[in-house]
Amino acid sequence: MIPRWLLLLAAFLFSVLLGLGASSLVLVAVRIPVIETFWTMFDGAAGSWSALESSLVFTEPIAFTGLAAAVAFRARVWNIGGEGQMVMGAFGASLIALQTTLPAPLMLVTAVGCGIACGAIWGGLTAALKVWLGVNEVLSSLMLNYVAILWVQSLVYGPWREPGGGWPYSEYFPDTARLPSIGSELDAFVIAAPLLALALAIWLRFSRSGFEISVVGHSHDAARYAAISVSRVTILVMLISGGIAGIAGIQQVCGSAGRLYVLTPGYGYLGILVSWLAGHNPFLVLVMSVFYGIIMQGGASLQIAQIDPSLVRIFQAAIILFALAGLTLASRIQTRPRSKVVDPA
């Protein structure tokens, strides 16, 4: 039998090729040379170290929101509030960076800690609503996204706006609150992402809580039977998920930007997508967020090459749709022929 990972890998690569094929039909239809376009995309996103570095800029926040989503989804808690938790993370870090004057190492540590806490609280709010009031987490986490975004908007348009500045940005953070940079565009959290993925993988597989998350994610009846509190697990995963999503926000404000602004929308939702593509496996979340970063950077380089941005979006959507469909179909192939081992005993 073909090993599962090989089947999924083959399905993934094949689907991406199909996605590219479908995109090329669009290119042919509008008479743009296919090969050159694909080359531009590849060259701009992965053709050189600097291109790859630019891709990783997109990857970084997606990796964190993806890991955040994966933790919640494993317990079948549908946290789609990664966006809001990310924004609250950015807010929490900014609160420390802008409002306090702490000495060098303490400043950054406190800012990061406060950001994570704010993200966790934002996630915990959804859990509390679900556990105590029975509110569906999809609705509450989605609504809380808007609250978080509007809250940060009101800050950067209002009290925290840089004095004399024309844009909705805060003042620059002091250097003590900035993440050490790596290369020209990246920051230290690019290393934190794989470490976090490793820690999560170990925790999910070998810890009591990880096992409880897996049980709750498969069957609430089995959880009751094993005396596992579904409520407790729900709160736990929402706190952790929110905290990790918060890191994505911290990374964006304490990284190359160095100030609070209205974050580029979408990373929270992309995390959901990436987690699904990765089957909620922490390591695969990393792989898929690199893949997604390359697609985004590829799109950016196409725009530089004067190709219509809407075409670029069609490209991205086609590739992702095919990949998602391919992976879903492939994982079904694997589960179907189960009668093979059945021995009527």
| Rounded-to-integer distance, Cα 224 and Cα 230, Å | 8
Q: Which two tokens stand for residue 111?
A: 């800012």
Q: How far is the CB of 74 from other proteins (least distance, A)?
A: 12
Among 67, 69, 215, 257, binds other proteins (CB under 8 A): 215
| Rounded-to-integer distance, Cα 278 and Cα 193, Å | 15
Segment interacting with other proteins (CB under 8 A) among 53-61, 98-106, 161-169, 206-214: 206-214
Q: How far is the CB of 227 from other proteins (least distance, A)?
A: 4
Phi, psi angles (nearest 5°) of residue 243: -60, -45
For 243, counting Cβ atoms within 10 Å of its Cβ (0-12 exposed, 13-18 middle, 19+ buried), the class is buried
Q: Which is nearer to other proteins, 2 or 150 (CB)?
A: 2
Q: Which two tokens stand for residue 219?
A: 């069957």
Q: Which two tokens stand for residue 203?
A: 């925790």
Residue 4 interacts with other proteins (CB under 8 A): yes or no: no
Q: Which is nearer to other proteins, 191 or 226 (CB)?
A: 226
Among 30, 163, 166, 343, binds other proteins (CB under 8 A): 343
Q: Which is nearer to other proteins, 222 or 329 (CB)?
A: 222
Residue 207 interacts with other proteins (CB under 8 A): yes or no: yes
Among 153, 214, 231, 331, binds other proteins (CB under 8 A): 214
Residue 304 interacts with other proteins (CB under 8 A): yes or no: no
Residue type at position 113: G
Among 222, 283, 308, 329, binds other proteins (CB under 8 A): 222
Among 218, 265, 283, 333, binds other proteins (CB under 8 A): 218
- What is the per-residue DSSP string for 113-155? HHHHHHHHHHHHHHHHHHHHH---HHHHHHHHHHHHHHHHHHH
Residue 3 interacts with other proteins (CB under 8 A): yes or no: no
- Classify the C-alpha dihedral 230-285-249-272 as positive or negative: negative
Q: How far is the CB of 204 from other proteins (least distance, A)?
A: 11
For 323, counting Cβ atoms within 10 Å of its Cβ (0-12 exposed, 13-18 middle, 19+ buried), the class is buried
| Residue 266 near residue 145, CB atoms below 8 Å | no
Segment interacting with other proteins (CB under 8 A) among 143-151, 162-170, 215-223, 245-253: 215-223
Residue type at position 112: V
| Rounded-to-integer distance, Cα 63 and Cα 245, Å | 9
Q: Which two tokens stand for residue 241?
A: 């998920």
Among 211, 231, 314, 321, binds other proteins (CB under 8 A): 211
Residue 332 interacts with other proteins (CB under 8 A): yes or no: no
Q: Which is nearer to other proteins, 71 or 148 (CB)?
A: 71
Q: Which is nearer to other proteins, 153 or 214 (CB)?
A: 214
| Rounded-to-integer distance, Cα 42 and Cα 294, Å | 8
Q: Which is nearer to other proteins, 225 or 283 (CB)?
A: 225
Residue 206 interacts with other proteins (CB under 8 A): yes or no: yes
Q: Which two tokens stand for residue 255?
A: 């990284």
Among 227, 264, 304, 332, binds other proteins (CB under 8 A): 227
Q: Please list the residues that pair with 261 across neighbouring strands.
A: 169
Residues that bind other proteins (CB under 8 A): 205-211, 214-215, 218-219, 221-222, 224-227, 337-345
